[in-house]
Structure 1
């Protein structure tokens, strides 16, 4: 069995409200075990014999059916989450600047983000082909050009963004 993290996009924002208990029950209906939700923002850890792609497909289908929205998720195994957290070049705890990790289910979309960031001289650090680390001033995340870029329709299908501290908590849950 492989330990996985499932990251939902757009949960508890924009009118899509999913309670953690309802999310947990929905994922528990899949061929998985050890389901745990974290931080009421669409983070789930579990174990499964499915591949990451199979778990992504089944998760999205179940979420769409249960909650009636265009569910999109990024599924990463524990080793990948560990690598992303370890390789992030920015600190998790800076009082003035937040560190974010945008997770990708499509490497081509990551390439587009890197090109865009370069065009506006915004520092972005790719972490393999599945994540990019970037920063935004505290209180300025929603105004960040990178945040706006990843909220474009083409990106919504292939990305989700989390604070580095959230990824650290997900990693701890995967390792527990």
Structure 2
């Protein structure tokens, strides 16, 4: 039985890692078990129709992107039901003229725990949406320069020398765009 899943590639089209939409779509459609793919925006977001569970899909997609596009890109996979739950439970407005809402996602439970601790340390407004999703806000125009946003952009905790679990962050409006794209795939 097929289902829909969102693939969120980390660090695509920033910092010299360029992945174009058409080659990404073709790459994802080449994965055994993926029936159809659609890209969302030019920032490494895709929705696929697949019979694969999230973890095997993540592993296959990371390998395919490296093989076909020459980029080692960690990614997070969410089922469409998970994306729907995130948008439904988001306590922040999708469109606010003063603040933007973001959602940071980890592939594994516990992967966000250090980020939650950092948010508390920095007095960053945040809400834990699930064991693998953290919502937070940032003033418009400051999405790259607040302490929490800078740490998110680097993908590692300040002062950290070890690796943390792979995470990726999306503007909450992007999650709504993923839902709209999933609706088109039907």
Q: Deviations over 1:1-51 (max 9, x none)?
A: 111111100100000011100111110101211210011111111111111
In structure 1, the gaps of 5 or more residues are none
Tell me, yes or no, if the aligned pair for 1:3 and 1:77 is still in contact at 8 Å: yes
Instruction: Indicate yes or no: 2:175 matched with 1:172.
Output: no
In structure 2, the gaps of 5 or more residues are 157-162
- Partner of residue 131, structure 2: 129
Between 108-117 and 7-16, report the one with greater CA deviation.
Answer: 108-117
Q: Deviations over 1:36-81 (max 9, x none)?
A: 0011111111111111000000000111122222211101111000
Shift of 1:113: 0.8
Shift of 1:96: 1.6
Instruction: Indicate yes or no: 2:160 matched with 1:158.
Output: no
- Partner of residue 62, structure 1: 64
Shift of 1:107: 2.3
Large movers: runs of 4+ above 4 Å: none
Instruction: Indicate yes or no: 2:109 matched with 1:107.
Output: yes
Q: Secondary structure at the match of 2:110?
A: helix
Q: TM-score, normalised by structure 2?
A: 0.89
- Partner of residue 78, structure 1: 80
State the distance in 2 between where 1:106 and 1:140 align.
28
Q: TM-score, normalised by structure 1?
A: 0.94
Tell me, yes or no, if the aligned pair for 1:113 and 1:149 is still in contact at 8 Å: no
